[in-house]
Amino acid sequence: MTDSPTVQKPIQETKTGRAAAGPVKWLDERVRLATLVKVFGRKVFPDHPTFLLGEIALWSFVVLLLSGTFLTFWFIPSQGEVIYNGSYAPLRGLEMSEAYASTLDLSFDVRGGLLMRQIHHWSAMLFIAAITIHMLRMFFTGAFRRPREINWLIGVTIFMLVIVEGFAGYSLPDDLLSGTGLRIAEGLMRSIPIVGAYISYFVFGGEFPGDALVARLYIVHVLLIPGILLALITLHLILVFYHKHTQWPGAGRTENNVVGPPMLPIYAAKAGGFFFIVFGVTTVMSALFQINAVWNYGPYNPAEVTAGSQPDWYMGWLEGGLRIMPNWESTIFGWTFSWNIFVPGVLLFGVLLTVLAIYPFVERWVTGDDREHHLLQRPRNAPIRTSLGVAGITAYGLLWAAGGNDILAVWFHLSIYEITWFMRFAVFIGPVIAFIVTKRICIGLQRKDRDIVLHGFESGIITRSPDGEYTERHQPVSPVEAYRLSEHERVSVAELPEEFDENGVRAPVRRVDKVRAKASHFYFADVVNKPTRAELEEAQHHGDGEHAELEAAEDEGFTGVTETGVPKST
Amino acid sequence: MSDEDRPDELARGGGELEPVGDPIPDPGLPEEFPRPTDVDPALERRAELQVAGAFGLATLLTLGFCVAYFAIPKEKTIFGWDASNFTLGMTLGGALLLIGAGAVQWARQLMHNEEIVEERHPIESPEEDREIALDMITVSAAESELGRRKMIRNSLLGSLAVLGLPAVIVLRDLGPIPSDEELRRTVWVKGMRVVNDVAGTPIRASDLEIGQLVNAQPAVLVPTGDPEKDKAIGVLHGVELLDAKARAAVILVRMVPDEINPPPGREDWGVNGILCYSKICTHVGCPISLWEHQTHKVLCPCHQSTFDLADGGKVTFGPAHRPLPQLQLGVDAEGYLIAMGDFVDPVGPSYPQMERD
């Protein structure tokens, strides 16, 4: 540990302190400021690069609020027709909506307007990406376990809202690309069983495209959803404060403590500085990389479309589902059911949100683990969860790739029909393969950890014995490292309750117990547990006597070495 | 959990107990080593200069932003880039980045960086608090007589529940209820000319070559540029135009008559091998635009539904279910292509009551 900084004069005795004393006292008498500082001033925040993901999301949200507010000063949310007369010559004299015309003015006639538009769009992309990866981090490390299930659900709700929010923003400029997106959204609404056409008419105020939607989406985009998001994000952060942040396990880090730098000054400087970094990176990206150049697309015209139309990235997987779904449609009692649209376009999103929302509760039911957890799990130590997550990512990734099947076809000179057929199967087979492969990798890594704890790490030093045999020397790892590799919990498959109790009376096993036993088997049967103390002592003893044993082995007949290079015991 | 709950054995998954420190006892927090800046004054000085330098440069860049805002005209470009956007973004972005980097560097290299340990306490309330809370609720339930005065309680719950109704009902006027007729109808009527969708010029059968596809519209949807003429035709504008276009847009295609395999009853819907189909995809409504004239197929660029125009607009690939609706063509007295009526099949994406009467 470093030396304490030079002891300073108490703050209240310095010049600044004396100057501030009055106002601070005034505040304290009204909001109990000193108690707030006492509670939060030295609150501990564990450090890890992955803990920055949530911060990227948070700061992107701030950037979105700032840049979005700027845009509202010029943007006109109206589909009223005007003749464009601004600076962009190629579109001059064209009939277009006020929304599109004002977006062009923002891009060409308001200084800094294009920069702000691009900052807003880039940070929206970054915001949703950061939220998504942040959520994956929570999933893979088991951070959703008690007591954080509610915060997980808040997070899933935020995830859903930002996708809707992003799509609403994408639709506002009323250019050809955004209009095409709305056209598709209208098709999705129509596919909702029984009430689809009504929903479409209610949303659009009548026929598509109508002239009501931009104004409606605008208030949803700038007030309704951001307001809800602001409330949910605040709640999310309050719970993080309340629960105290999770931490990675390691020497000295337990379920009963939290280790890291304090809020003041280190965390405040780092997190505060990080806001500027996120804002800065977004701004530099907006200076260098063009995004959503609406002037290239022209005003919305329902009879036109550009080839290679792509939605923003977070809609790509739903777009892929729409593209690869077989063209099933059926008529039942006279009602038309467009499964080809409803299943990938509406149901799939619902399925994803439902699976995300219920997963913590399913896992808790299967594992029977209802204890509080503040130490994160290394993904390898929850092989089935990790594999399920990777399978989910694979399905998402394949659907996303399918959403660009036309781009893939052009780039790789492939047949678009073959890509589509491939994807139709791949979205089902790919996740299964990913699951199996990930599970094997996790178990392999668990086995490696176990070997390192038992036998030490492979030193790379090869020893040749007098009779010519080569062995690699294993060296023990430090206690800190050995603890890190073996601090996790041992798991076992939950057994079915005995069918006969101690008095020999038959207690029927409920079906739910059987399902649970099967699920427990699925979760835990293949897990490689860390060694026990007895196993460790045995291995250490074995290691001390390695050479003696080698010689003994010679007499008894050498039977080869194990995977880790240790002679097999006979 | 308090220490009393944690003797030398811990409950693990499945309720089994295992000894603490198995197999390796917690060695405790490792010692923190001083950073190079803690022990080497030269490095410390260098870090200090880095941080102050970053903040100083950030100030200059921010001032640069202010100058660039006024100095660079909006329309100026450098190497094809928008000069104003580039300069404003790089100065502002650079300033923000430097402030951020400076603050982080300060925290990492210079601020006292000792990790501290804070205790956690179980999230659940202590037993004592729970009892107090339950007592309070019991008392307030008794004081409000909520349990005793069931009539009041139930009537209150009922009155609150029906408040949900107005919240839904007031949204009724968001849009009209679509009638089946409205969902099906387009602006096509018998005798309306089929015109080129850019210039608005009427089309003669002889204007199309074999294998050619033309994007077309009903005459009322394309302004001709001549207000008198537009008025005579009744050309629509603004939202009416867009609404009508979203359903009435068509494609004209000319094929060798022998290659056309019309569905029964549609043998005479074409003119000299020219057929007219809806341009709006029956999947989710994108305008279909990619024409492969050798195979007579059109492909929707949005989701790749493929329709065979020589075979009644049948779907040959992709997620669309229904064939492209066909418009019956005729020729007027002046020899221009006209519609012989509206579409028979619904145009655009399917909807639930499509097949109902």
Contacts of B303 in chain A (CB under 8 A): 319, 322-323
What distance in Å separates residue A557's CA from the closest CA in chain B? 33
Contacts of A326 in chain B (CB under 8 A): 319
Nearest CA in chain B to A535: B23
Contacts of A257 in chain B (CB under 8 A): 117-120
Contacts of B307 in chain A (CB under 8 A): none
Contacts of B79 in chain A (CB under 8 A): none
Interface ipTM: 0.92
Nearest CA in chain B to A365: B14
Question: pLDDT tens digits, residue range B181-217?
Answer: 889 999 999 999 999 998 889 999 999 999 999 999 9
- Give B31's DSSP letter: P
Residue B227: predicted pLDDT: 87
Rounded to whole angstroms, the Cα distance separating B25 from B178 reads: 72
Tell whether B246 is within 8 A of chain A (Cβ). Answer: yes
Rounded to whole angstroms, the Cα distance separating A175 from A181 reads: 10
The pTM of the full predicted model, rounded to 2 decimals, is 0.92
pLDDT in tens, chain B (357 residues): 333 344 344 444 444 455 667 889 999 998 888 999 999 999 999 999 999 999 999 999 999 999 999 999 988 888 888 999 999 999 999 999 999 999 999 999 999 888 899 999 999 999 999 999 999 999 999 999 888 899 999 999 999 999 999 999 999 999 999 998 889 999 999 999 999 998 889 999 999 999 999 999 999 999 888 889 889 989 998 899 999 999 999 999 999 999 999 999 999 999 999 999 999 999 999 999 899 988 999 999 999 999 999 999 999 999 999 999 999 999 999 999 999 999 999 999 999 999 886
B129 burial via Cβ count (<10 Å: 0-12, 13-18, 19+): exposed
Contacts of B319 in chain A (CB under 8 A): 322-327, 340-341
What distance in Å separates residue A353's CA from the closest CA in chain B? 23
Is-contact A76 A98, C-beta < 8 A? yes
Tell whether B345 is within 8 A of chain A (Cβ). Answer: no
Contacts of B97 in chain A (CB under 8 A): 276-277, 280-281, 284
Q: Which of residues 253-312 of B touch A (CB under 8 A)?
A: 279-280, 283-287, 289-290, 301-305
Q: Do B114 and A2 touch (CB under 8 A)?
A: yes
Name the 3-class secondary structure at A321: helix
Q: Which domains does chain A have, with CATH numbers?
A: 1-40 (no CATH), 44-309 (1.20.810.10), 492-526 (no CATH)
Structure tokens at B343: 């579409």
Nearest CA in chain B to A244: B120
Tell whether B181 is within 8 A of chain A (Cβ). Answer: no
Q: Do B14 and A491 touch (CB under 8 A)?
A: yes
Contacts of A112 in chain B (CB under 8 A): 69, 84, 88
10 Å Cβ neighbour count for B299? 22
Rounded to whole angstroms, the Cα distance separating B317 from A307 reads: 18
In this complex, the residue of B99, B120, B249 whose CB is nearest that of residue A302 is: B249
- Cβ neighbors of B269 (< 8 A, separation 6 or more) are B262, B275, B276, B326, B327, B328, B329, B340
pLDDT in tens, chain A (570 residues): 344 555 678 888 889 989 999 999 999 999 999 999 998 999 999 999 999 999 999 999 999 999 999 999 999 999 999 999 999 999 999 999 999 999 999 999 999 999 999 999 999 999 999 999 999 999 999 999 999 999 999 999 999 999 999 999 999 999 999 999 999 999 999 999 999 999 999 999 999 999 999 999 999 999 999 999 999 999 999 999 999 999 999 999 999 999 999 999 999 999 999 999 999 999 999 999 999 999 999 999 999 988 778 899 999 999 999 999 999 999 999 999 999 999 999 999 999 999 999 999 999 999 999 999 999 999 999 999 999 999 999 999 999 999 999 999 999 999 999 999 999 999 999 999 999 999 999 999 999 999 999 999 988 889 898 999 998 888 889 999 999 999 998 888 888 777 777 777 777 788 888 899 999 999 999 999 999 988 988 888 766 545 444 444 444 455 555 666 665 654
In this complex, the residue of B74, B249, B321 whose CB is nearest that of residue A108 is: B74
Q: How far is CA A516 from CA A384, A507, B143, B201, in A?
A: 15, 17, 46, 72
Q: Do B353 and A111 touch (CB under 8 A)?
A: no
Structure-token match 């102050």, residue found: B52
Q: Which of residues 6-35 of B touch A (CB under 8 A)?
A: 6, 11-16, 18-19, 22-32, 34-35
In this complex, the residue of A196, A253, A304 whose CB is nearest that of residue B351 is: A196
Q: Do A196 and B352 touch (CB under 8 A)?
A: yes
Q: Do B100 and A273 touch (CB under 8 A)?
A: yes
Structure tokens at B228: 């008198």
10 Å Cβ neighbour count for A303? 22
In this complex, the residue of B82, B90, B197 whose CB is nearest that of residue A114 is: B82
- Measured at the CA of A406, the angle between CA A402 and CA A409, to 5 degrees, comes to 100
Residue A555: predicted pLDDT: 46
Where do the DSSP E strands lie in chain B? 9-11, 17-19, 77-78, 81-82, 116-119, 194-196, 213-218, 250-254, 274-278, 290-292, 297-299, 306-308, 314-317, 326-327, 329-331, 337-339
In this complex, the residue of B30, B197, B349 whose CB is nearest that of residue A303 is: B197
Q: Is residue A548 within a helix (H) or strand (E), and if so which, with residue range?
A: helix A546-556
**Region B182-355: CATH code:** 2.102.10.10
Q: Do A258 and B93 touch (CB under 8 A)?
A: no
Nearest CA in chain B to A333: B356
Q: Do A251 and B30 touch (CB under 8 A)?
A: yes
Structure tokens at A83: 């003749």
Residue A497: predicted pLDDT: 72
Name the 3-class secondary structure at A464: strand
